[in-house]
Amino acid sequence: MWFKSMFAIPAAGLGFFFSAWLLMLFGGILADDLGTKPFGYTTSMLATIALWLVTAPVIGAISRSQMVPFVVRSSARWKTVDSTSRTEP
């Protein structure tokens, strides 16, 4: 299982550069239809990081709201706590 976390950061980096490259390609293809000028790879990377910074908190909030109940040990008894009754510090 440890190997999944070892490749997570490089995979995210490759995904970022690939997303920027695709944005550059489609931006160039659709430039005439959209009435814009084609933009380069650095502008595409800037737009991609902006999109990632906007969507990452939204994805985190959605995944946090759909957490499954978990079990905690309290006073020598096990009890199930769901995500709605749990308080975050």
The predicted structure's pLDDT at residue 73:
54
* Residue of 8 and 79 predicted with greater confidence: 8
- Nearest of 3, 50, 45 to residue 22 by alpha carbon: 45
Determine the distance from the C-alpha atom of residue 27 to the mean position of all C-alpha atoms in its chain, rounded to a whole number.
Answer: 22
Cβ partners under 8 Å of residue 65, min gap 6: 83
Q: Give 79's DSSP letter.
A: E
* Residue of 68 and 29 predicted with greater confidence: 29
Domain boundaries, the chain: 2-81
Sequence-ordered alpha helix ranges (H) in 1-89 = 2-6, 8-29, 31-34, 41-65
Q: Whole-number mean pLDDT of the chain?
A: 79
The predicted structure's pLDDT at residue 80:
56
